Amino acid sequence: MILRDFRPEDLRDVKAIEPFMANPQGWEEVVENSIAITAEVNGKPIACGGVVVGKEAVFWARSSGKCKTKVYRGLKEGLRILTESLGDMVYSAIILDGFKMGDRLARRLGFRKTGTTIEHDNHIYHRYVL
């Protein structure tokens, strides 16, 4: 597995293990405004993710479910590097209601679920903080 700079077509090429949304409106804009990387195996993207920095740092990720251990280790190391680089601020992640893998991953990475929910495009999301 290698890590490289994110390219917009990676969103299309990483076939998500569970759907995030059928057609994520504004997703490309989120990605364009984030610091992001892609993990690939044999030249094929298997995961991508990053952080959008504003009032707080909001993490996002998309994974095909392949090479889970390597992807998890990469995410954990990337999270460590970003939080050390960005310093003292609020770090969060927004997880689709009922997306069990997203919930498990966020918790394993050290995020905790808050009582805050966000409704967007007829979906409910839960806010997690680090």
Whether the CB-CB separation of 50 and 37 falls below 8 Å is answered with yes
Please state, in angstroms and rounded to a whole number, the distance separating the CA atoms of residues 104 and 66.
Answer: 16
Q: Domain range holding 28?
A: 2-129
- What span, in angstroms and rounded, lies between the C-alpha atoms of 85 and 105? 22
Name the domain count of the chain: 1
- The per-residue pLDDT for range 20-42, each reduced to its tens digit, is 444 445 666 666 677 888 888 88
> Is the per-residue pLDDT at 56 higher than 60?
yes
Q: How big is the chain, counted in residues?
A: 130
Structure tokens that stand for 80 in this block? 């460590």
Distance of alpha carbon 78 from alpha carbon 118, whole angstroms: 26
**pLDDT, position 29:** 66
Residue 16's domain is classified under what CATH number? 3.40.630.30
Eight-class DSSP state of 82? H
